[in-house]
C-alpha cells in the first residue's frame, strides 16, 4: 500500500486529533487545516489525494473548499469526504451537489472512516 | 235556597275583590314594591291557560272522549321543557326592544313591518273571537243554570229572545267595562300591568281550589273514592270504552295533533305571550314555572275523569249537558255553597282569560292596526295632534268593547254548534298559525318578511276555510250543503275533507292542512326572497339575542334635533315624562342635561324605543321619521335612503375594524412563524453542538479500544480529551436546560436584598485559581456607597462567574489584565468587567448575546464554551429589571457591564424607628 496524501480540514481540535490519528495509522501523509483559508492554501501546495472536509469551517465553508477542489484541473483525481454534524438531507444534498464523493455524519465510527478512506484511495 | 240576588251579589263582590287586588298591585308597583316579582305569582299567572274550557269543558270532553281531554295539557307540559330556551329568548328580545304584544314582536322581527303586524292582529282577533265566545257561553250558561236551581237542565234558548234579555250580552258588557278599568288606566304598555297579573294569579288559585273541592266532593262524597267511581263506570259497557285511551290508529294521530297544537298554543296565544313574556319581571322566574306550571296542570286535571264518570252515572238517562257536570253534580245534591264556589271558580277561569286576552288584543289592535292606518291615512293633520295619550287609550277602550262584542256575536251565531272544547280548539288552531313565524324568527335568520306574510296569510286562509267555516255553517248561517258536498258540489274541496282526506277530528284536519300551507309558504317564500337592510339587521338581532350585547338596530343618518325628538316622545308620553326620560338618558351618557346631547343615531334609537313601548315598533319608526321630516323636509322620502347611508357608514367602520384586526392577526402570525423558525434553528444548533463533543468521545473511545499497542503518554492524552469533551457535553446540556427553564418562566427565584460588592468578591475568590494559572492580574474598585440590589444570590453569582471566565478566556497569553468595578450610578447599581483582550468588532457586538453565537479570540479557533453563557446572563439580569451590554473596540479590549435597579438606601435609624 503506497503512501497517499490526505488533507484534514476541521475546526474542532479534538476531532481533528482523532481524524489525524486514524489517517496516520493507515499509513498516509497528513496535512491539517483548521479553517477554510488554511484548507484552500493546503490544496494548492499539498495537492492531496483525499480531503476530509468539515462542512462548517470558519472563514471559508467546506462547500467553498469542495467547489475549489472541483474547479482545479490539477485536482481532478482528488476525492472529497464531507463531514458534518448536521444530518439533515438538505446538508447532504448541498454537499454532494458541491462535488463531494462521500458523506459522513458526526458522530461517526473511526472503523467506518478507516474503511471509507481505504476505499476512496483505492488502496 | 240559592236566590238570584245572592248569585248576582256574590259575582259582583268577587269581581270587586279582584279589582281591589289589581288596584293594590298597581299601587305597589307605583311605589316600586312589586307584588308580582316572585316566581310563584309568575307561574300562577301562566295558569290563565286554564279557562272555562278547562273548568267546565274538560269534563264534557272526558264524558264523550274519555282521556281525550288530556293532550291539551300534555302539550304545554312538554313545551315547558323548552321554555328555558325559547321563552327566555323572547323575554330578552321583548325587554331590549320594549315589545308591547305578540304582533309587535313579529312585526319587529321582520323589519318592523306594519303590514305584518296588522296581519298578525287580524289573525289574532278573528282567531280568538270563538275562544272569547266560549267564556261568555260558560259564564252565562253557568249563571242561567244556577238561577234555575234546583233544576239541572236549562231550557233551550228561545229564538225570539232579544239580546237585551240575553245573559251573555250583559256578561260581555260587564267584562268589557271591567277590562277597561283593569287594562287601560295608563299608557305605556311596556310598563307591565302588575295589578292585572296579581288578580289573574289570585283567580288561578280560586279556580283550582273550586275545582279540587268539587272533585273531592264527587269522588269521596258521592262515591267511595277513585276506585269506586272507576269500578262502577267499568260495569257499564257504554262507559268502558272511555277508559281505553287509543281505540284505533286515527286516535293516535288526533292525540299527536292535539299535543302539537297545544304546544304551539301555550307560546302563541296572545294572552300566554302577554303573561309569559310581556308581563315577566325576571327571566329567572321561568326556572320555577318550568315545574310549577305542569304541577298546576296536573292538579286541575286530577278529578276530571271521576267527575265525568260520576256525572254520567248520576245523570244517566237525563238531558244534563256533560259540560255542566262540574256545577250540576253539587246542585243535584243540594250543596248550595259548593255550587256557588264552583260558579265563582268558573267565573274566575273565564274572566281571567277574557281580561288578559282582551288587553293583549286591544294593545295589538291599537298599536299594530289602528295607529299605522291613522298615521298613514290622515297624514299631517293627525301626526301633529297633541292629545295622543288620551287618543291611544280611547282606541284601546274601543278595541276592548269591539272584541268582546265580536265574541258575543260569535256566541249568538255559532255558540251552539260545538261543545266548549271544540270551540276552543278552533282558536287554538288559529293561534298555532303564529308558530312558524314566531319560532322560525327566533332561530332562522333567513326567514324574511315576505315569507312570514305568505305563510301566515296562507295558514290563516286554510284555517278559516277548514275550521271557522264549518263551525259557522253548522249553526245554519251558511249553506250546510257546502259541508256535505263541497263548494258547487266539488267533493275534494269539502272543508272538513280537503283533497278527500278523511280525518275524523276536524281540528286535526284543519291543523294538518293549515300547517302544511303555512310552513310551506313561510319556508318557500323566505328562501326565494331577499331581506331588506332593516329586516336583516332585525333578524340578526333576534336570532343572536343571547350573544348580542348592544342593540345594533338600524341607525339613522340625517338632520334631526334633540328638541324635535323630545317633542315627538312628548306627544305620546306627555311633556313631563319625556323631559324626564331624556334627562335620564343624558345623565347615563355623562351629560349634565338633555341640551348637551348630540342627536345621533343612538339618541334616535332611544326615542324610537320609548315610543315603541307605547305604540309599537312599526308606528314608532314612522313617528320618529316625522321628527326628521319637520327638521329637514328635503329628506322626506329619504327614510330608506338615509338608513342605507347610515348602514354603509357602519359597514365602512366595520370594514376598517376588520382590516385592523386582520393586520394584527397577520403580524401575530408572522411573529409565531418567526418564533417557530427560531425554535427549529435552536434545536438544530443544539443538536450540532451536542454532536461535536460526542464525535470526539466516540472516536477516541474506539481508537483506545482498537489500538491496545498505544503508548502510555498517548493513551493518557486521548483519555484526557474524552474527559474534557464529556465535561463540555455535560455543561452544554446543563446550560440548555437552564436556558429552557429561564425562558419558559419555570425557574425558581429566591429574590433578596444583596450587597453587590460582596457577590463580586465571592466570584473573584471562586475564579482566583483560574486567574493565577493564566497569570492574569485582577483589579477591583468598589464605590463609596456599596450598592445593594434585589436579586437571587446564586443567579447573580452565575452571571459574575460567567463574565469573569469570559474575561479570562479572551485575555492575551501574557500580560492579561482584568478590571472589575462596582459603582452606584444614579438609581442603578452597575458592575463593569473589563479585559485587555482583542476586543469585539461592532457587528459581532450585536450578536454575541444571541444563542450559540461565539466570537473567537483568534479567527481560526473557537473559544471554549457552549455559546449560551451570555444569553443566560442576559435573561437573569433582565429578570431583575436590569440590562447587560458590552463596550469594545478591536484592539482595545472589551468591557461587559450590567446594571440593576439599586435599593434605595434607608438610614439605619429610620429603618429601626
- DSSP for B404-457, please give it: HHHHHHHHHHHTTTS-HHHHHHHHHHHHHTHHHHHHHHHH-TT--HHHHHHHHH
Q: In this structure, what C-alpha cell is assigned to residue B700?
A: 477516541
Give the pLDDT of residue B627: 61
B192 half-sphere exposure, CB direction, 13 A CA radius: 29
Give the pLDDT of residue B52: 84
* CB proximity A89 to B under 8 Å: no
> Where does the pLDDT of residue B861 fall: very low under 50, low under 70, confident under 90, or very high at 90 and above?
very low
CA angle centred on B133, ends B401 and B350, rounded to 5°: 90
Inspect the interface and report whether the beta carbons of A12 and B694 lie closer than 8 Å.
no
How far is residue B226 CA from its own chain's centroid? 45
Chain A partners within 8 Å of B713 (Cβ)? none
Q: In this structure, what C-alpha cell is assigned to residue B857?
A: 479570540
The neighbouring-strand residues paired with B829 are: B824, B900
pLDDT digits (tens, 9 = 90+) for B41-79: 888 888 888 888 888 888 888 888 777 778 888 888 888
Comparing alpha-carbon positions, the chain B residue that sits nearest to A104 is: B695
Yes or no: say if B159 and B165 are a contact pair by the CB < 8 Å rule: no
Cis link prior to B911 (omega < 30° from 0)? no
Nearest Cα of chain A lies from the Cα of B744 at a distance, in angstroms, of 26
Yes or no: say if B462 and B514 are a contact pair by the CB < 8 Å rule: yes
Which residues lie below 8 Å from residue B57, measured CB to CB, with a gap of 6+? B69, B134, B138, B323, B419, B420, B421, B424
Q: Give the residue-averaged pLDDT of B170-181.
A: 85
Does the pLDDT at position B381 exceed 70?
no
Residue with cell 443538536: B687
Inspect the interface and report whether the beta carbons of A35 and B860 lie closer than 8 Å.
yes
Give the pLDDT of residue B331: 86
Give the pLDDT of residue B238: 73
Chain A partners within 8 Å of B697 (Cβ)? 107
> Where does the pLDDT of residue B115 fall: very low under 50, low under 70, confident under 90, or very high at 90 and above?
confident
Percent of chain B topping pLDDT 90: 7
Q: How far is CA B824 from CA B350, B752, B756, in A?
A: 93, 18, 10
* CB proximity A59 to B under 8 Å: yes
Q: Give the residue-averaged pLDDT of B370-385.
A: 68
Does the pLDDT at position B548 exceed 90?
no
Nearest Cα of chain A lies from the Cα of B723 at a distance, in angstroms, of 11
CB < 8 Å from A in window 653-682 of B = none
The neighbouring-strand residues paired with B752 are: B791
B340 half-sphere exposure, CB direction, 13 A CA radius: 17
Yes or no: say if A35 and A68 are a contact pair by the CB < 8 Å rule: no
Does the pLDDT at position B102 exceed 60?
yes
Cα(B449)–Cα(B452) distance, rounded to whole angstroms?
A: 5
Q: Give the residue-averaged pLDDT of B336-365.
A: 88
Which residues lie below 8 Å from residue B257, measured CB to CB, with a gap of 6+? B505, B507, B508, B511, B512
Q: In this structure, what C-alpha cell is assigned to residue B129?
A: 273571537
* Segments of chain A scoring below 70 in pLDDT: 1-2, 86-92, 123
In chain B, the largest separation of any two C-alpha atoms, in whole Å, equals 143
Yes or no: say if B792 and B751 are a contact pair by the CB < 8 Å rule: yes
pLDDT digits (tens, 9 = 90+) for A68-79: 888 888 888 899
3-state SS of B83-130 is HHHHHHHHHHHHHHHCCCCHHHHHHHHCCCCHHHHHHHHHHHHHHHHH
> Where does the pLDDT of residue B121 fall: very low under 50, low under 70, confident under 90, or very high at 90 and above?
very high
CB < 8 Å from A in window 684-713 of B = 684, 687-688, 691-700, 702-703, 706-707
Cα(B517)–Cα(B534) distance, rounded to whole angstroms?
A: 27
Give the pLDDT of residue B491: 64
> Where does the pLDDT of residue B788 fall: very low under 50, low under 70, confident under 90, or very high at 90 and above?
confident
Q: In this structure, what C-alpha cell is assigned to residue B788?
A: 445593594
Chain B partners within 8 Å of A15 (Cβ)? 692, 695-696, 699
Nearest Cα of chain B lies from the Cα of A36 at a distance, in angstroms, of 9
Chain A partners within 8 Å of B687 (Cβ)? 85-86
Yes or no: say if A100 and A87 are a contact pair by the CB < 8 Å rule: no
Q: Give the residue-averaged pLDDT of B20-44.
A: 83
Yes or no: say if A107 and A67 are a contact pair by the CB < 8 Å rule: no
Percent of chain B topping pLDDT 70: 84
Chain B partners within 8 Å of A25 (Cβ)? 707
Least confident interval from B1-5, B447-451, B879-883: B1-5
Nearest Cα of chain A lies from the Cα of B898 at a distance, in angstroms, of 30
Q: DSSP 3-state assignment of B36?
A: coil
Inspect the interface and report whether the beta carbons of A11 and B861 lie closer than 8 Å.
yes
Cα(B696)–Cα(A25) distance, rounded to whole angstroms?
A: 17
Q: DSSP 3-state assignment of B557?
A: coil
CB pairs under 8 A between A and B: 73
Which residues lie below 8 Å from residue B500, measured CB to CB, with a gap of 6+? B491, B492
Inspect the interface and report whether the beta carbons of B699 and A18 lie closer than 8 Å.
yes
Give the pLDDT of residue B484: 63
φ and ψ at residue B752, rounded to 5 degrees: -150, 170
Yes or no: say if A31 and A10 are a contact pair by the CB < 8 Å rule: no
Give the pLDDT of residue B26: 82
Inspect the interface and report whether the beta carbons of B702 and A110 lie closer than 8 Å.
yes
Cα(B516)–Cα(B203) distance, rounded to whole angstroms?
A: 38
Bigger pLDDT: B419 vs B52: B52
A115 half-sphere exposure, CB direction, 13 A CA radius: 6
Chain A partners within 8 Å of B725 (Cβ)? 14
Does the pLDDT at position B314 exceed 60?
yes
Which residues lie below 8 Å from residue B386, measured CB to CB, with a gap of 6+? B571
Where b means 16+ CB within 10 Å and e means fewer, B587-617 reads eeeeeeebeebebebbbbbbbbbbbbbbbbb
pLDDT digits (tens, 9 = 90+) for B792-822: 888 889 899 888 888 888 888 788 888 898 8
The neighbouring-strand residues paired with B789 are: B754, B902
pLDDT digits (tens, 9 = 90+) for B719-773: 999 999 998 889 888 888 888 888 887 778 888 888 888 888 888 888 888 888 8
Which residues lie below 8 Å from residue B678, measured CB to CB, with a gap of 6+? none
Best of B690, B692, B711, B859 to mutate (most A CBs within 10 Å, chain A): B692
Does the pLDDT at position B634 exceed 50?
no
Q: DSSP 3-state assignment of B823?
A: strand
* CB proximity A85 to B under 8 Å: yes
Yes or no: say if B468 and B428 are a contact pair by the CB < 8 Å rule: no
The neighbouring-strand residues paired with B788 are: B755
Give the pLDDT of residue B560: 58
DSSP string, A15-78: HHHHHHHHHHHTT-EEEEESSHHHHHHHHHHH--SEEEEESS-SSS-HHHHHHHHHH-GGGTT-
CA angle centred on B195, ends B408 and B95, rounded to 5°: 95
Cα(B498)–Cα(B671) distance, rounded to whole angstroms?
A: 69
Yes or no: say if B101 and B364 are a contact pair by the CB < 8 Å rule: yes
Tell me the torsion sign for CA atoms B460, B465, B469, B471. Answer: negative
Nearest Cα of chain A lies from the Cα of B806 at a distance, in angstroms, of 19
Q: Give the residue-averaged pLDDT of B575-596.
A: 77
Give the pLDDT of residue B401: 92
Q: Give the residue-averaged pLDDT of B882-910.
A: 79
Nearest Cα of chain B lies from the Cα of A16 at a distance, in angstroms, of 9
* CB proximity A27 to B under 8 Å: no
- Give me chain B's average pLDDT, please: 80
φ and ψ at residue B900, rounded to 5 degrees: -130, 150
> Where does the pLDDT of residue B856 fall: very low under 50, low under 70, confident under 90, or very high at 90 and above?
very low
Q: DSSP 3-state assignment of B781?
A: strand
Residue with cell 282569560: B353
> Where does the pLDDT of residue B638 fall: very low under 50, low under 70, confident under 90, or very high at 90 and above?
very low
Nearest Cα of chain A lies from the Cα of B727 at a distance, in angstroms, of 13
Does the pLDDT at position B700 exceed 90?
yes
Cis link prior to A90 (omega < 30° from 0)? no
> Which of A18, A22, A58 shows the shortest C-beta gap to B859?
A58
Amino acid at each position: 500500500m503506497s503512501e497517499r496524501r490526505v488533507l484534514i480540514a476541521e475546526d474542532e481540535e479534538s476531532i481533528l486529533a482523532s481524524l489525524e490519528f486514524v489517517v496516520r495509522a493507515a499509513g498516509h501523509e497528513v496535512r491539517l487545516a483548521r479553517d477554510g483559508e488554511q484548507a484552500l492554501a493546503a490544496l494548492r501546495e499539498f495537492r492531496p489525494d483525499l480531503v476530509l472536509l468539515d462542512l462548517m469551517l470558519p472563514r471559508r465553508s467546506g462547500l467553498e473548499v469542495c467547489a475549489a477542489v472541483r474547479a482545479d484541473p490539477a485536482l481532478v483525481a482528488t476525492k472529497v469526504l464531507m463531514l458534518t454534524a448536521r444530518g439533515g438531507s438538505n446538508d447532504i444534498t448541498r454537499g454532494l451537489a458541491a462535488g463531494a464523493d462521500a458523506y459522513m455524519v458526526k458522530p461517526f465510527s473511526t472503523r467506518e472512516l478507516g474503511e471509507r478512506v481505504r476505499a476512496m484511495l483505492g488502496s | 235556597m240559592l236566590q238570584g240576588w245572592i248569585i248576582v251579589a256574590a259575582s259582583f263582590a268577587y269581581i270587586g275583590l279582584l279589582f281591589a287586588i289589581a288596584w293594590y298591585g298597581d299601587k305597589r308597583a307605583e311605589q316600586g314594591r312589586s307584588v308580582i316579582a316572585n316566581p310563584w305569582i309568575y307561574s300562577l299567572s301562566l295558569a290563565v291557560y286554564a279557562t272555562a274550557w278547562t273548568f267546565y269543558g274538560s269534563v264534557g270532553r272526558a264524558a264523550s272522549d274519555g282521556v281525550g281531554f288530556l293532550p291539551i295539557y300534555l302539550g304545554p307540559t312538554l313545551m315547558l321543557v323548552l321554555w328555558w330556551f325559547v321563552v327566555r329568548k323572547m323575554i330578552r328580545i321583548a325587554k331590549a326592544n320594549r315589545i308591547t304584544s305578540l304582533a309587535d314582536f313579529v312585526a319587529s322581527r321582520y323589519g318592523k313591518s306594519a303590514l305584518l303586524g296588522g296581519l298578525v292582529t287580524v289573525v289574532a282577533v278573528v282567531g280568538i273571537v270563538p275562544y272569547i265566545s266560549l267564556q261568555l257561553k260558560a259564564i252565562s250558561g253557568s249563571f242561567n243554570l244556577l238561577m234555575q236551581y234546583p233544576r239541572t237542565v236549562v231550557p233551550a234558548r228561545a229564538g225570539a229572545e232579544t239580546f237585551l234579555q240575553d245573559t251573555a250580552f250583559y256578561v260581555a258588557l260587564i267584562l268589557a267595562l271591567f277590562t277597561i278599568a283593569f287594562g287601560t288606566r295608563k299608557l305605556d304598555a311596556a310598563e307591565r300591568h302588575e295589578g292585572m297579573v296579581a288578580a289573574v294569579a289570585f283567580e288561578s288559585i280560586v279556580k283550582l281550589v273550586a275545582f279540587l273541592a268539587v272533585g273531592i266532593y264527587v269522588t269521596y262524597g258521592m262515591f267511595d273514592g277513585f276506585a269506586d267511581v272507576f269500578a262502577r263506570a267499568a260495569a257499564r259497557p257504554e262507559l268502558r270504552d272511555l277508559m281505553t285511551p287509543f281505540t284505533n290508529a286515527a286516535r293516535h294521530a288526533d292525540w299527536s295533533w292535539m299535543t302539537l297544537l297545544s304546544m304551539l298554543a301555550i307560546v302563541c296565544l296572545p294572552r300566554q305571550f302577554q303573561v309569559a313574556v310581556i308581563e315577566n319581571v325576571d327571566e329567572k322566574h321561568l326556572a320555577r314555572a318550568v315545574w310549577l306550571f305542569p304541577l298546576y296542570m296536573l292538579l286541575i286535571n286530577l278529578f276530571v275523569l271521576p267527575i265525568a264518570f260520576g256525572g254520567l252515572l248520576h245523570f244517566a238517562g237525563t238531558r244534563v249537558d256533560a259540560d255542566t257536570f262540574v256545577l250540576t253534580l253539587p246542585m243535584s245534591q243540594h250543596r248550595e255553597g259548593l255550587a256557588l264556589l264552583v260558579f265563582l271558580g268558573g267565573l274566575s277561569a273565564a274572566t281571567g282569560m277574557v281580561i288578559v286576552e282582551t288587553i293583549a288584543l286591544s294593545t295589538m289592535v291599537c298599536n299594530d292596526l289602528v295607529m299605522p292606518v291613522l298615521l298613514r291615512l290622515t297624514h299631517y293633520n293627525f301626526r301633529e295632534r297633541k292629545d295622543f295619550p288620551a287618543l291611544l287609550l280611547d282606541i284601546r277602550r274601543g278595541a276592548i268593547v269591539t272584541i268582546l262584542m265580536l265574541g258575543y256575536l260569535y256566541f249568538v251565531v255559532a255558540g251552539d254548534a260545538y261543545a266548549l272544547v271544540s270551540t276552543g280548539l278552533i282558536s287554538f288552531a288559529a293561534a298555532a298559525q303564529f308558530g312558524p313565524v314566531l319560532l322560525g324568527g327566533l332561530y332562522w335568520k333567513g326567514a324574511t318578511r315576505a315569507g312570514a306574510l305568505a305563510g301566515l296569510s296562507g295558514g290563516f286562509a286554510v284555517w278559516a276555510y277548514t275550521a271557522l267555516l264549518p263551525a259557522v255553517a253548522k249553526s245554519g248561517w251558511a249553506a250546510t250543503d257546502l259541508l256535505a258536498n263541497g263548494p258547487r258540489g266539488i267533493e275534494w274541496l269539502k272543508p272538513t275533507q280537503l283533497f278527500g282526506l278523511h280525518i275524523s277530528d276536524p281540528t286535526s284536519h284543519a291543523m294538518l292542512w293549515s300547517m302544511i300551507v303555512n310552513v310551506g309558504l313561510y319556508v318557500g317564500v323566505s328562501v326565494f326572497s331577499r331581506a331588506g337592510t332593516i329586516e336583516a339587521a332585525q333578524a340578526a338581532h333576534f336570532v343572536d339575542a343571547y350573544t348580542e350585547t348592544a342593540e345594533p338596530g338600524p341607525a339613522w343618518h340625517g338632520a334631526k334635533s334633540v328638541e324635535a325628538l323630545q317633542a315627538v316622545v312628548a306627544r305620546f308620553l306627555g311633556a313631563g315624562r319625556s323631559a324626564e326620560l331624556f334627562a335620564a338618558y343624558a345623565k347615563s351618557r355623562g351629560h349634565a342635561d338633555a341640551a348637551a346631547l348630540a342627536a345621533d343615531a343612538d339618541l334616535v334609537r332611544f326615542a324610537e324605543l320609548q315610543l315603541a313601548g307605547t305604540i309599537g315598533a312599526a308606528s314608532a319608526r314612522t313617528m320618529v321619521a316625522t321628527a326628521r321630516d319637520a327638521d329637514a323636509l328635503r329628506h322626506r322620502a329619504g327614510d330608506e335612503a338615509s338608513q342605507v347611508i347610515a348602514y354603509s357608514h357602519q359597514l365602512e367602520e366595520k370594514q376598517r375594524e376588520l382590516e385592523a384586526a386582520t393586520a394584527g392577526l397577520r403580524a401575530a402570525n408572522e411573529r409565531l412563524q418567526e418564533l417557530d423558525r427560531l425554535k427549529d434553528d435552536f434545536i438544530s444548533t443544539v443538536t450540532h453542538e451536542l454532536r461535536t463533543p460526542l464525535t470526539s468521545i466516540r472516536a477516541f473511545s474506539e481508537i483506545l479500544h482498537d489500538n491496545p499497542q498505544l503508548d502510555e503518554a498517548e493513551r493518557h492524552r486521548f483519555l484526557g480529551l474524552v474527559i474534557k469533551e464529556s465535561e463540555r457535553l455535560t455543561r452544554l446540556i446543563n446550560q440548555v436546560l437552564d436556558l429552557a427553564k429561564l425562558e419558559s418562566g419555570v425557574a425558581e427565584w429566591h429574590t433578596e436584598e444583596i450587597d453587590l460588592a460582596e457577590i463580586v468578591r465571592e466570584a473573584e475568590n471562586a475564579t482566583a485559581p483560574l486567574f493565577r494559572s493564566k497569570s492574569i492580574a485582577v483589579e477591583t474598585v468598589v464605590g463609596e456607597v456599596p450598592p445593594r440590589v434585589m436579586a437571587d444570590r446564586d443567579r447573580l453569582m452565575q452571571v459574575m462567574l460567567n463574565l469573569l471566565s469570559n474575561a479570562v478566556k479572551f485575555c492575551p497569553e501574557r500580560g492579561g489584565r482584568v478590571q472589575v468595578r462596582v459603582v452606584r450610578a444614579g438609581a442603578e447599581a452597575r458592575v463593569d468587567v473589563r479585559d485587555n483582550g482583542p476586543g469585539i468588532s461592532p457587528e459581532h457586538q450585536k450578536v454575541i448575546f444571541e444563542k450559540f453565537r461565539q466570537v473567537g479570540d483568534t479567527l481560526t479557533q473557537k473559544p471554549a464554551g457552549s455559546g449560551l453563557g451570555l444569553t443566560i446572563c442576559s435573561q437573569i439580569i433582565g429578570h431583575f429589571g436590569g440590562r447587560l451590554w458590552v463596550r469594545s473596540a478591536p484592539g482595545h479590549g472589551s468591557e461587559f457591564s450590567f446594571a440593576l435597579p439599586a435599593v434605595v438606601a434607608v438610614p439605619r435609624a429610620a429603618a429601626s424607628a
